[in-house]
A = this chain, B = another copy of it.
Amino acid sequence: MEGQEKRSPEGAGHEPDKADIYGEDGVIRPSYIAQVAAAIADRDVLTLRREVGDLHQSELGDLLEALLPEQRRLLVSLLGEDFDFSSLTEVDEAIRLDIVQSLPNAEIAKAVQELDSDDAVYILEDLDQEDQDEILSQLPFTERIRLRRSLDYPEETAGRRMQTEFVAVPPFWTVGQTIDYMREDQNLPDRFSQIFVIDPSFRLLGSVYLDQILRTKRGVKIEDIMHETRHAIPATMDQEEAAREFEQYDLLSAAVVDENDRLVGVLTIDDVVDVIQEEAEEDLLRMGGVGDEELSDTVASISRSRVPWLLVNLATAFISASIISMFGATIEQMVALAALMPVVASLGGNAGTQTMTVTVRALATRDLDIYNAGRVIRREVMVGVMNGAVIAAIIGVIAGVWFHNLDLGIVIAMAMIINMLAAALGGILIPLLLDKLGADPAISSSIFTTMITDVIGFLAFLGLAAWWLKLG
């Protein structure tokens, strides 16, 4: 977990300090990248070992992302055994795959043994079955069984993210015995904050935090200080749900159990932080009409992933267009309507997006549910009426003055209020409905909300104009 722990103390003098690698903007300094690139070009292994060998895995990951593909592959092969494979968990999937596929399977198998099991799984899970099997077959038996077990759980579950190294003791041990055991055992995980208590069949009984052990006298039995585990995570639980448990109960680590309540691994907060980040990013991108995109993806794959959204938008845009074309005669008689109608639609769209954003977020954090939905809907409608009145007044005056036509001002003001109400209702009801139907409200709320505000905006404005101004 902690790169600075693994370094040998003697290396500390050579180690480039954080400030050396990153500029003030938090981005790796170009001079450092140039220096590393030059050393790669010169095949200067000594310089590379000195400059890169002691980086934290995340720093090395940032460096890899800053280099060109051929430089990356060359750097990895030049460093050989000095290359810290855990840095691959810190780079984009495309980069990770490119590097791993450039290496012989035997070398990957060797590297994977040095990693924590969760990092090893992270790197192996993207490979195709054949390579995975070949690599696993070259591992020692216990290692292979552990990784295989993690990989057998579905993607994005706790079982995939867990670490299979942990400390577990029987309940009748004393604190003294436990401490002595930890002092002797050489196979402890790199870093851990609690130890687990299990029965002979590996069934989870509870856990003890390390500080609890440290503040207890040697003679006390573990079962007297352990607390029963309330938050054991089933291995098949979705990682997002597991992350929510961590957030709600401020957990640092949690036991992962199989279907028979047997301890199979431990999920740690650092992996959960990554999950939280990923999920937040996913919501943001989805609301912007983008899928799981990474900066290193190819033009073709990005284009393919974005086109479907645009096609849906094309369909809704033509619905709006057909509404407008119904009022062809009206527009012909007063071309000013053509200039003003996008104003009504655009403001409605933005107001709807505001409400929708708040709703989607509240649904994601489970702040919004059927018990307070009524209250929130009422509130949004009132906000819509208030803001609608303000915007309608301004827009009415501007339109009336611009086209020297008081009636036109009245018509656009009325249309605006109607559309702001539609925006408020659409912005909250559409995400709620999608959520109720089991769809992800982040994905398609915005396109439907804008469709509603476009249709209602054009219909209200052109319809009122035809009737009030007796056109068409």
Contact = CB atoms under 8 A, between A and B. Distances in A.
A160 interface: no
Interface stretch (A123-131, A148-156, A286-294): A286-294
B390 A307 contact: yes
A249 to B, nearest CB: 6
Interface of A: 1-5, 9, 12, 17-18, 25-27, 30, 33, 56, 58-59, 65-66, 179, 182-183, 185, 188, 191-193, 209-217, 227-228, 230, 244, 246-252, 269-270, 272-273, 276-277, 280-281, 283-285, 287-290, 293, 295, 299-300, 302-303, 306-307, 309-311, 313-314, 316-318, 320-322, 324-325, 328-329, 331-332, 335-343, 345-347, 350-351, 353-354, 356-358, 361-362, 365-372, 376, 379, 382-383, 386-387, 390-391, 394-395, 398, 447, 450, 454, 458
22 contacts: A2-B250, A4-B227, A27-B369, A27-B370, A65-B367, A66-B371, A188-B215, A252-B269, A280-B281, A284-B357, A288-B357, A290-B357, A295-B358, A295-B376, A303-B382, A317-B342, A318-B343, A321-B339, A324-B338, A325-B335, A328-B338, A329-B335
A28 to B, nearest CB: 8
A18 to B, nearest CB: 7
Nearest to A390: B307
Contacts of A295: 358, 362, 367-368, 372, 376
Contacts of A3: 249-250
B285 A270 contact: no
A291 to B, nearest CB: 10
From A26, A252, A345, residue with most partner B Cβ within 10 Å: A252
